[in-house]
Each structure stands twice: as structure tokens, then as C-alpha cells.
Amino acid sequence: MKTTLSYLKPLRRLAVLLPLWGGAALGLGGFLMSCETIIDANIASGPTQLAVDAWLTDQPGEQRIKLVQTANYFNNGPSTPATSASVVVGDNAGRVFTFTDPDNDGVYTWKPAKAGDTTRVGIIGRTYTLGIQYLGNTYVSAAQMPRATSLDSLIFRKKTITPVSKEEGYRSEFYAVDMPGAVDYYYLRYYRNGVLQNRPQDISLAYDGAFRGSANTDGLTFIRPIRQSLNPEKLFALSDTMRVEMRTLTAEGYLFWELLRSQLQNAGLFATPPANVPTNIRNTTAGGPSAVGFFFVSPVRTRTAIVSKETLRGGD
């Protein structure tokens, strides 16, 4: 059992998923005495489905697609790999990439024929198709690789973790400018000293550099709450290295992450009813077993900075 003072955690989602809610948590948690208890639960499994974990990028080198079978929600052991599938990716320029799984662990890989070959699978603007043959069924998916913007700078400011805390550290703020002319969808994550941070609140999403359904921010600098959204409750120390990674998504891909993030952050008074994340994987036979998961092709942009005199700024 864990007693939580951060009663307002769920409010972040409520506030159009604002990640910077430190202030509002003030005081409330203290007198509400709310509490989360981990309980024993079991639930009947639904039918087993093929699950696709595919996120191809424009980075050179190996690309992977992981296929597993869905399991009972509380099965926390290793998942059952979907082996002996045939996995092929093609683009609209006629290139074909065959993914193979020689060690039968459900991880299908493609790598350039020889080392030093800088062939990239993902190229901005191209359309990609994924074909999977598995247990007599054919699954297909199509995805466009969206355009990308650059991460222009990354700076840090001295802060306390929350307004009520005395613990000081450095909060990051990255700068990027949204691309004008169309809605762009961004997924952001970061590495602290080389380690990917993956707490539920470490996933940041942006819609034209702001929140979905907020103002028309097309073409603007990312708005401040997004710029400062990456490490709200886990500040950096001097000399820490931060690497920010930005991937752009399609509209449906953004929805996938938005719903997945709400599964991760579900808590408290304003918990949302569970919603299935969308899938772009389709069984070619209507009425055949459906698959879950997603096929993404994204450009990846990064920026790395060390918390030091050069990157420190004053103010808020």
C-alpha cells in the first residue's frame, strides 16, 4: 500500500494533459488522505491475438519488428513470441526489406548487407507497407513517414521540484519550431546520462507544438509548457547529460500514444475508463482474427546537452 500525496496527478490529464502541474498539487494531498492500494486481481483472458511492435526510423543500421501473442493482462512473465512469421516491409519507391528471425525469439530484424552501408529504411514523405504472414493469416499495414523539425537548443534552469519542495535541481527546456502548413504530431522522450527515462510521465506528446485541441499553434515555437515538459519531477544535477529525442507521428500514431499514455497515467479521482489503443494492422481476410499493435515509421531528431554554465539560463 502506498499513500499518495500527489492527489492532483490525474488532473494533469484533465488539464488537457498538462505535464507541469506541480503547483496545483499544493496542499490538497495533505488533507485528502487519498490512497492507492495494489490489489490482487484476476480477469478472464480474451482470445489471443497477434501483437505488432514496429517502429522503424530514418536512422542507419539495424531495424527491428517484434511480434508476440497477447497474454492475460496479469501475465507478467515473458511474453510468447510469434515465431515463424514472414515479415516484409516495402516503400512506394519499390524498395523491399525482408525482416528475419533466425533465433526464433519473435524479434525480426533487417540490417544492411554489409557494415558501413548507410541505407536508411525511413525516408521522409515515403509510404511504407508492412506485410506479415502468421499462422495462415495475412496482416498488412501502411504508414507514411511524416516530416521532421529540428531541436534547436536545450537549456536548463534552476528550480525546486515542486513549489512545496526544497529540493533544488535543474529543469530542462528545449526549443523547437513547429513546421507550418499542416498539423504535426510529436513524441518526445529523453535520456539521462545515457539511460532512457521511462516513467509514465516521461512520455511527452505535442500537437503542433502545443496540446491537442488547444490554440492554433501551427508554425510557432513549441509552447512553454511543452518545452519544459520533459523532466518535471526529476531534476538534473550539474554535469548531468541529457539527450532529448523527438519523433514525428501520423495522426493515428499520435492517438495511439495519447491513449497509451492515459493507460500509464491512469490514477485517482478522474481516472478514465480504459480505452483500447488503435491499431493500423489489418487482417486481409475480413472476419479473420484481428491483430493489435502499431506500425510506425518516424524520423528521429535528437539534441544532447550537459548541465553546465554554458547551458544554464536564469528566470523561470
Residues 265-284 that bind another protein (CB under 8 A): 266-278
Residues 225-244 that bind another protein (CB under 8 A): 225
Task: Kindly write down the DSSP assignment for every residue of 263-312, as one continuous string.
Answer: HHT--STTPPPP-PPP---EESSTTSPPEEEEEEEE-EEEEEEESSGGGE
The stretch near another protein (CB under 8 A) out of 125-133, 137-145, 262-270, 298-306 is 262-270
The stretch near another protein (CB under 8 A) out of 44-52, 96-104, 114-122, 302-310 is 44-52
Residues 181-200 that bind another protein (CB under 8 A): 198-200
Give the residue with the Cβ less far from another protein, 47 or 94: 47
Does the footprint of another protein cover residue 39 (CB under 8 A)? yes
Residues 123-162 that bind another protein (CB under 8 A): 159-160
Q: Are 297 and 120 in contact (CB under 8 A)?
A: no
Minimum distance, C-beta of residue 154 to another protein, in the bound complex (Å) = 15
Residues linked to residue 243 through DSSP beta bridges, in sequence order: 191, 304
Give the residue with the Cβ less far from another protein, 96 or 251: 251
Q: Where are the beta strands (DSSP E) in 208-278?
A: 241-249
Q: How many CA atoms lie within 13 A of 116 on its CB side?
A: 0
Give the residue with the Cβ less far from another protein, 74 or 117: 74
Q: How many residues does the chain have?
A: 316
- Cα gap 267→45, rounded to integer Å: 23
Minimum distance, C-beta of residue 93 to another protein, in the bound complex (Å) = 27
Residue that the C-alpha cell 492515459 belongs to: 262
Does the footprint of another protein cover residue 315 (CB under 8 A)? yes
Minimum distance, C-beta of residue 99 to another protein, in the bound complex (Å) = 17
Residues 67-126 that bind another protein (CB under 8 A): 68-76, 79
Minimum distance, C-beta of residue 298 to another protein, in the bound complex (Å) = 12
Give the residue with the Cβ less far from another protein, 49 or 204: 49
Give the residue with the Cβ less far from another protein, 96 or 196: 196
Q: Are strands 50-57 and 241-249 parallel, antiparallel or unpaired?
A: unpaired
# binding residues, another protein (CB under 8 A): 92
The stretch near another protein (CB under 8 A) out of 92-100, 128-136, 234-242, 263-271 is 263-271
Residues linked to residue 87 through DSSP beta bridges, in sequence order: 99, 132
Residue that the C-alpha cell 523561470 belongs to: 316
- Cα gap 279→51, rounded to integer Å: 10
Which residue, among 181, 186, 300, has the nearest Cα to 249 in the 3D structure?
Answer: 186
HEC letters along 150-206: CEEEEEEEEEECCCCCCCEEEEEEEEEECCCCCCCEEEEEEEECCEECCCHHHCEEE
Minimum distance, C-beta of residue 117 to another protein, in the bound complex (Å) = 26
Of 258, 281, 301, 303, the one binding another protein (CB under 8 A) is: 258
Residues 199-228 that bind another protein (CB under 8 A): 199-200, 209-217, 220-225
